Amino acid sequence: MRKMKAMKKWLTIVPLALMSITMAGTPAFENPVYAASASFSDVPAGHWAYGAVDQLAKAGFVDGYGDKTFRGDKTMSRYEFAILVAKAVDKFDSADEANKQLIDKLSAEFAAELNRLGARVAKVEAKTNTWIGGETRFRVVGNDPKIGNKLSGSDTFEFRQRIKFWGNINDNMSFFGRLATTGGNKFGNAEYSSGSEIALDQMTVTAKNTLGFDSIRVGRSALDFITTGLIGKPMNVDGILLTDSWDKLSFKGWTGNIKTNKWNPTAGSAGAYTDNEAYQFTTGQLGYKLSKNLSLYGGYYWADVPGTSTTGGLGTLNTNIGSFSSSQGWTSSVVYKMGKYTLLGDYVGSKLDGAANLPDNPKGWAVQLSNSQGPAAMYQAVGLVNPNKVGTDAWMVSYRSVDAGAIPSGAGGFDTTSVARPGESYNVFTHSTDNVKAWFLAYQNVVAKNVVLSLEYQDYKIKDRSLTSLTNDKLDKTYMMKFEFFY
């Protein structure tokens, strides 16, 4: 695996090299590159590699014909095989165990050719070290709130545009940035700036093998999910991430600012901040792989983030009473793979400092069952499908139960997964992980290459009604259909 990781440093450029030596839009093995492969011997008919590549083509790890097969009816050179193996290696992390073993076997067979190919593309990589991509998303949303008003009109149709750029600074350092539309992004609100304005919501520099760590990342990014997803945030936190690993043990630590100080534009001619909070959030996590199918994670967090409430239910807490000044707590999770299914469990136990009119030891937990073959994390952290694998689909069902104050404001992994009117009491847009019990169901389908259809449903109830002014536990039901385009 160490050799594999080293190999992938230069294999990321292989698709670009492949485009330059094949016909556009045509599988590489339909058009042998005779000039480039003249110095490489042919792989004889009947060699096991033909069948192995066919299996990887069917699984989507190399480009095949329209029916997802590889027709080994013409002799190929070892050079052409090396190109296909390199593409499969680049997708190694998303392969199941059987295909990983197959990629390992092919990599060993064509190791010499892969090394020579690496030397050939090194010059191209030196000139082309910056890439650009993006995402376009359209959503239709709806809800059934028990208090407040339903979404209507332009509130039910949303869009989002992201533009990503990334590249290499040197052999050990890389950068990533992302521009995204800001505001409500509602169709029908074209006369407002919402959706037309953009912001830099991610901007990082990552150094590998530095100061004794596998990686150090600095800048604006997502709040990396600790354990499997009750705590996290998809964007707009500023801090530093440290990662390291030793055989079956892994470490991840993050510290930074997760919220913006409150700003009062009417305070004087230039405005002023109305608080001096640092909103510092720090996490540390260890992971251990007990077996091929079972992994355990544990961590701790410290949050200089207060919890507030208002009589109308519009504070950071999903209550109308209570407050605290800061919090800390421990987290744990389990990931268990059962054939094609994955079971996740996540738990948070917190201690509230300066708690008033609130239980000072809140807890939260979540479970998720899915048939996704993607990374092991709660659905809001990662998607269920690989957008490159046309025709694949996956589902998940989860349930979470979170006490008031168990997760610091701004660090709730499920926050903003539902759409509701933010200015209304106990709205589930900003309170998806505070004083709630919720079912979450989702389904994704890759309807075309890099086009994903998602269907989502959540059913919310208040966890502790005695902390609110509500007369029953029912809170809201939310519905969502979205199309995402990746490029």
| Cβ contact 54:70 at 8 Å | yes
The predicted pLDDT at position 120 comes to 52
**Per-residue pLDDT at 84:** 84
Q: How far apart are CA 222 and CA 236, in angstroms?
A: 6
Interatomic CA distance for residues 219 and 210, integer angstroms? 16
Q: Which domains, from first to last, does the chain contain?
A: 2-127 (no CATH), 130-486 (2.40.160.10)
Question: In one letter, which amino acid is 394?
Answer: A
Q: State residue 122's pLDDT score.
A: 54
Phi/psi at 55 (nearest 5 deg)?
-65, -40
Q: Which pLDDT value is given to residue 37? A: 33
**Contact at 8 Å (CB) between 312 and 293?**
no
**Nearby residues of 316 by Cβ (< 8 Å), 6 or more positions away:** 306, 307, 308, 309, 409, 434
H helix count then E strand count, the chain: 6, 20
- Please give the pLDDT value at position 275: 54
pLDDT at 457: 98
| 208-217 per-residue burial string, b: 16 or more CB within 10 A, e: under 16 | eeeeebebbb
pTM for the model stands at 0.73
Written as tens digits, the pLDDT of the chain (487 aa) is 444 444 444 343 333 333 333 333 333 333 333 233 334 567 887 788 888 888 888 888 876 544 455 655 567 888 788 888 888 887 877 788 788 888 888 887 887 777 766 655 554 455 557 888 999 999 999 999 988 889 888 889 989 999 999 988 988 899 999 999 887 688 776 666 556 688 898 999 999 999 999 999 999 998 877 888 899 887 788 999 999 999 889 999 999 998 766 544 444 444 444 555 668 999 999 999 999 899 999 999 999 999 999 998 889 999 999 999 999 999 999 999 999 999 999 999 999 999 999 999 999 999 999 999 888 889 988 899 989 889 999 999 999 999 999 999 989 989 888 888 877 889 898 899 999 999 999 999 999 999 999 999 999 999 999 999 999 999 999 999 999 999 9
Quote the pLDDT of residue 461: 97
Q: What is the 3-state secondary structure (H, E, C) of 312-352?
A: CCCCCCCCCCCEECEEEEEEEEEEEEECCEEEEEEEEEEEE
Beta bridge partners of 280: 257
What's the confidence (pLDDT) of residue 40? Answer: 53
Q: Please report, for residues 76, 221, 237, 438, the alpha-carbon distance to residue 330 in angstroms, rounded to integers and kept in the order given.
A: 56, 23, 21, 22
